[in-house]
């Protein structure tokens, strides 16, 4: 994705020197202690909007009002450059498409992720959470990311597409290589293999449809015409990748927080009825996504001149940490007044269609894990390994109980 030795970008003429901050979204200072706090320092210590010469050179908007503006303004802002540093991505429908191309793809996915559809997946989420936790409990320790956080979302996807759970042994490493490998060739090769796998399955479902996601997508209409086979495969890949790394990361951050904060953990053990609200408070404090946009036309905002072609990083994770919007934003308070302000699932036309499913997975995980492993901590002598970027993540999390 990124070449750490790459030269710093030259400051374009329309960017004044006082708006330049040396901020690397992949290596913010203090990343390994608390990645959200590391980003928060950039919000607190710099101008509301700054430009960094790192990763090809791009703007970062740090305050809630500006994050919303760049999420909802489809007239002046495009989704084309949603990854930093920018790269020539083929369309990943609907993620990096603008209107009018975006809507028809999204319309296919939405009914597959509405609350009624998610409820049909609930028993899978619960069964996997129970079985995995029960298998781990007697061991007294685990590496949570490999042994739980990666397994739950892939099993949910396999249930959505009606494919055998055993396929996870092949898909988990592929998904990992496809979303987190530092080597571009490895990423491309993994996504190609994933595409081949899904193409084969979708060809079968084209001829013998069921009621699963692959069958629905391959037989869908894209606006007023039948979707082409390759378009359908791309959309299925988006549904797969959209729900893997994100859910794994959120599970990782929530579990790391509870491992390090016994009072909060005990609150949930004593009163499991708090868990649904706790999920949103954890998502607010431990947000993970920082996608980017491309400016379509020159415009001014808060005295800053944006030029067509500029790339702007829009850290959704900073919205719920903005002290102009929320009191004491760094404190996790499960009894915080509702609704809890955050934009962890985005805003506007690209708002995450998987939010209902993601919240359900987190809630059920907490319910079932805390019943069986109520008292756990970071394994002595280890430190969780965190990653920052477009999607922040927990790479390794050793627990003991």
Nearer to ligand HEM, 49 or 109 (CB): 109
Q: Does residue 237 interact with ligand HEM by CB under 6 A?
A: no
Distance CA(298)–CA(245), nearest Å, equals 34
Report phi then psi at 91, rounded to 5: -55, 135
Nearer to ligand HEM, 19 or 358 (CB): 358
Q: Which of 182, 170, 174, 131 is nearest to 393 (CA)?
A: 182
Residues 257-296 that bind ligand HEM (CB under 6 A): 288-289, 291
Q: Dihedral of CA 195/196/200/206: which sign?
A: positive
Where do the H-state alpha helices sit in 46-167? Answer: 64-72, 102-109, 115-136, 144, 151-160
Q: Does residue 346 interact with ligand HEM by CB under 6 A?
A: yes
Q: Please select the residue that binds ligand HEM; options are 358, 386, 392, 399, rule is CB under 6 A.
A: 358
Q: Does residue 344 interact with ligand HEM by CB under 6 A?
A: yes
Nearer to ligand HEM, 132 or 234 (CB): 234
Residue 252 DSSP SS3: helix
Residues 79-108 that bind ligand HEM (CB under 6 A): 82, 94-95, 106
Distance CA(253)–CA(393), nearest Å, equals 7
Residues 13-72 that bind ligand HEM (CB under 6 A): 71
Provide the minimum distance between the beta carbon of 109 and ligand HEM in the complex, in angstroms, as a whole number: 6
User: What tokens were used for 105?
Assistant: 């793809």
Q: Dihedral of CA 21/22/26/28: which sign?
A: negative
Q: Which stretch binds ligand HEM (CB under 6 A): 55-63, 169-177, 234-242, 295-303?
A: 234-242
Q: Which residues bind ligand HEM (CB under 6 A)?
A: 71, 82, 94-95, 106, 109, 238-239, 242-243, 246-247, 250, 288-289, 291, 316, 344-346, 350, 352-354, 357-358
């Amino acid at each position: 994705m990124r070449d750490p030795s790459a030269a710093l970008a030259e400051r374009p003429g329309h960017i004044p020197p006082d708006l330049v901050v040396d901020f690397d979204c992949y290596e913010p200072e203090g990343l390994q202690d608390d990645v959200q706090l590391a980003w928060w320092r950039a919000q607190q210590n710099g101008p509301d909007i700054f430009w960094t010469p790192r990763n090809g050179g791009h703007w970062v908007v740090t305050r809630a009002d500006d994050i919303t503006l760049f999420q909802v303004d489809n007239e002046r802002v495009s989704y084309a450059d949603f990854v930093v540093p920018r790269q020539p991505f083929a369309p990943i429908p609907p993620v990096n498409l603008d209107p009018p191309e975006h809507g028809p793809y999204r319309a296919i996915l939405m009914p597959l992720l509405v609350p009624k559809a998610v409820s049909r997946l609930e028993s899978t989420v619960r069964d996997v959470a129970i079985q995995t936790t029960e298998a781990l409990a007697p061991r007294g320790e685990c590496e949570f990311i490999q042994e739980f956080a990666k397994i739950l979302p892939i099993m949910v996807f396999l249930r959505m597409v009606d494919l055998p759970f055993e396929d996870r042994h092949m898909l988990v490493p592929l998904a990992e290589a496809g979303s987190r490998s530092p080597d571009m060739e490895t990423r491309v090769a993994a996504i190609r293999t994933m595409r081949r796998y899904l193409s084969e399955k979708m060809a079968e479902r084209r001829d013998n449809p069921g009621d699963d996601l692959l069958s629905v997508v391959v037989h869908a209409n894209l606006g007023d015409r039948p979707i082409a086979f390759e378009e359908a495969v791309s959309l299925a890949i988006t549904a797969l990748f959209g729900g893997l790394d994100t859910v794994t990361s959120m599970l990782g951050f929530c579990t790391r927080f509870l491992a390090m904060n016994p009072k909060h953990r005990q609150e949930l053990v004593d009163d499991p009825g708090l868990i649904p609200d706790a999920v949103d408070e954890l998502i607010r404090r431990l947000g993970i996504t920082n996608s980017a946009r491309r400016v379509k036309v020159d415009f001014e905002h808060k005295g800053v001149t944006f030029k067509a072609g500029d790339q702007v990083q829009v850290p959704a994770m900073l919205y719920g940490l903005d002290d102009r919007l929320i009191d004491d934003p760094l404190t996790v308070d499960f009894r915080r007044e509702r609704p809890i302000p955050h934009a962890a699932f985005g805003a506007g036309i690209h708002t995450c269609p998987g939010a209902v499913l993601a919240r359900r997975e987190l809630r059920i995980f907490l319910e079932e894990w805390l019943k069986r492993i109520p008292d756990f901590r970071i394994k002595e002598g280890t430190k969780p390994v965190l990653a920052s970027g477009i999607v922040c993540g927990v790479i390794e999390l050793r627990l003991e109980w």
